[in-house]
Amino acid sequence: MISHLLEMKAITKSFPGVKALDGVSFDLRAGEIHALVGENGAGKSTLIKILAGVYPHPEYGGKVFLEGAARRFASVRDSEQAGIAVIYQELSLVKDLSVAENIFLGREPRRFGIINWEELYSRAQKLLDDLHLTIDTGSPVRNLGIGHQQLVEIAKALSQNARIVVLDEPTAALTDAEVETLFGILNDLRARGVAMIYISHKLDEVFHISDRITVLRDGKTIDTTTTTETDEPRVIARMVGRSVDQIFPEAKHDRGEVVFEARDVTVEDPSVPGKLLVDHVGFTAHKGEVLGIAGLMGSGRSELLMAIFGAHPGRKSGEILVDGKQIQIAKPSDAIRNGIGFVTEDRKRYGLILDQTILKNMTLACLRRVSGRFVTSEDAEAAAGERAATELRIKAPSVFTVAGTLSGGNQQKVVLAKWLLTNPRVLFLDEPTRGIDVGAKQEIYAQINRLAESGLAIVLVSSELPEVLGLSDRVIVLHEGRVTGEFARSEATPEAVMSCATGHARRAA
């Protein structure tokens, strides 16, 4: 019999009005990577928070066994001392402290209350050496890329002699190279006997790294299988509770005339004078067509759209034409007036005012048109808002629900509604499905197709290649601020696009 390092049995947890976990069972063996997958709201984070002691013992039902012994974690500290380390999506590092200081934060080696800096730095160095990391222990965490920060978190977990490491969406902000490094380290740790729980929406990574996969849905364990004995479609089907033959519905777009054209757009890095983030990029968007912009992180995708929209702080040049007429865009309101809508990335930071209502968020960019030039009319707004909410199938008690209480998918729909209410001719979408679950993604995809069919020109930026390829009629590829390829839908294979995105190949349409 295989001994379990960790067993969680019949775990239940209720919040007012919702049963978040309903008899979930989960186990973990030493030296394995066990993936935990499920749609947002399936109960993954709740389960992890119970393990981490965030929801202390009497607040949940069921039993937790560590090496066969029943444990009741009353606090985060309890759980940490039992050798459980959780690395959350939002990293918990102090940005202005050094790498070594962060690793030993709260547990600094001391004598008579005075920190022994030599010991602290040499122990930190040893930890990083063990992980084959070349990070300067004295450098402030602020100066590290997100990927390295993640690795520092792992080093910190190991410094606490963690036997169980929980990784919550560890690759969400990493480049492919950083993901490779991370996976190398995870493999190392696995060989050393560390057990890991790996939470991710990215199934290709899950299949690449994990030994077993547990699917949660609606607070219940659906099943646990050995990774080699299942495949992506089967896991997706279990996650959503229905079979997903076709994530990307086949859409028939009628390409119309050119609505939008950008010529020779160049954007300078505001903090590094002379460095170009976008280097003479041009593209056209046609009525009724989805244009995909592919590229890795740092390729200048978002900067290109931000600059066109008048919202990038860097110096920029180039020409923008709407309906063949050249326009000047100095600030976002110029862009909006000329029929450009922009569903920005990171909805919490750039898209929504989280403690205002859905309605106020939806009408923010079109207030003067929908509600009145100076005096607003809540009724006129509500009427427009209700229509948009129905059209986009926003699930909420009413349009007066506070936006921050919605699920990610519905929040994204609110941002989409905000921009549709400005009556755009061309709609920019930057990472429109980041961090939302499979079911909600499909709904967004269906909306994108519907909008294109209704004659909108759509420019789609996404770091998820399948998404760009699945939705776009045409794809342009950026690499280090330059266009390195242009493809029609039929020619855009993942391999061809990726080789342009990494700078290996160039190709003209």
Q: Which is nearer to other proteins, 251 or 354 (CB)?
A: 354
Applying CB under 8 A, the span of 52-60, 167-175, 343-351, 455-463 interacting with other proteins comes to: 343-351
Q: Which is nearer to other proteins, 179 or 335 (CB)?
A: 335
Query: Strand pairing partners for 321?
Result: 261, 326
Residue 373 touching other proteins (CB under 8 A): yes
Q: Using CB under 8 A, which of 162, 215, 281, 365 touches other proteins?
A: 365
Q: Using CB under 8 A, which of 368, 453, 494, 504 touches other proteins?
A: 368
- E-state strands within 81-230: 84-87, 110-111, 114-115, 164-168, 195-199, 212-217, 220-226
Applying CB under 8 A, the span of 197-205, 218-226, 272-280, 352-360 interacting with other proteins comes to: 352-360
Rounded distance between C-alpha atoms, residue 410 and residue 432, angstroms: 12
Q: Which is nearer to other proteins, 116 or 405 (CB)?
A: 405
Q: Which is nearer to other proteins, 206 or 366 (CB)?
A: 366
Subset of residues 419 to 448 that bind other proteins, contact rule: CB under 8 A: none
Written as one letter, the residue type at 417 is A
Rounded distance between C-alpha atoms, residue 346 and residue 436, angstroms: 11
Binding to other proteins by CB under 8 A, coded x per residue (else -) over 274-293, reads --------------------
∠ CA 444-358-303 to the nearest 5 degrees? 55
Residue 352 touching other proteins (CB under 8 A): yes
Q: Which is nearer to other proteins, 381 or 486 (CB)?
A: 381
Q: Which is nearer to other proteins, 260 or 487 (CB)?
A: 260
Applying CB under 8 A, the span of 2-10, 126-134, 374-382, 443-451 interacting with other proteins comes to: 374-382
Nearest alpha carbon to residue 291 among 468, 482, 480 = 468
Q: Using CB under 8 A, which of 1, 114, 191, 375 touches other proteins?
A: 375
Residue 55 touching other proteins (CB under 8 A): no
Nearest alpha carbon to residue 150 among 94, 204, 91, 96 = 91
Q: Which helix (H) or strand (E) holds 260?
A: strand 258-268
Applying CB under 8 A, the span of 3-11, 49-57, 70-78, 354-362 interacting with other proteins comes to: 354-362
Structure-block tokens of residue 483? 């266009």
Residue 14 touching other proteins (CB under 8 A): no
Least Å distance, CB 351 to other proteins, is 6
Structure-block tokens of residue 289? 């067509």
Least Å distance, CB 402 to other proteins, is 7
Residue 448 three-state SS: helix
Residue 254 touching other proteins (CB under 8 A): no
Residue 372 touching other proteins (CB under 8 A): yes
Applying CB under 8 A, the span of 34-42, 158-166, 279-287, 377-385 interacting with other proteins comes to: 377-385
Nearest alpha carbon to residue 42 among 245, 222, 187 = 222
Subset of residues 385 to 424 that bind other proteins, contact rule: CB under 8 A: 386-387, 390, 398-400, 402, 418
Q: Using CB under 8 A, which of 356, 405, 423, 493 touches other proteins?
A: 356
Subset of residues 308 to 337 that bind other proteins, contact rule: CB under 8 A: 309, 311, 331-333, 335-337
Q: Which is nearer to other proteins, 112 or 374 (CB)?
A: 374
Please check whether residue 217 is in contact with residue 39, taking contact to mean a CB–CB distance below 8 angstroms.
yes
Residue 350 touching other proteins (CB under 8 A): yes
Please check whether residue 485 is in contact with residue 497, taking contact to mean a CB–CB distance below 8 angstroms.
yes
Name the strands in the sheet holding 276-286, side by side, starting at the edge strand that comes first in the sequence. Answer: 276-286, 258-268, 316-322, 325-327
Within its chain, how far is the Cα of 40 from the centroid? 12
Structure-block tokens of residue 78? 């309890």
Rounded distance between C-alpha atoms, residue 135 and residue 125, angstroms: 9
Least Å distance, CB 503 to other proteins, is 30
One DSSP character per residue, 399-439 reads TTSBGGGS-HHHHHHHHHHHHHTT--SEEEEESTTTT--HH
Binding to other proteins by CB under 8 A, coded x per residue (else -) over 82-111, reads ------------------------------
Rounded distance between C-alpha atoms, residue 128 and residue 150, angstroms: 13
Rounded distance between C-alpha atoms, residue 26 and residue 72, angstroms: 16
Least Å distance, CB 155 to other proteins, is 32
The residue ranges that bind other proteins (CB under 8 A) are 309, 311, 331-333, 335-337, 342, 344, 349-356, 360, 364-365, 367-368, 371-380, 382-383, 386-387, 390, 398-400, 402, 418
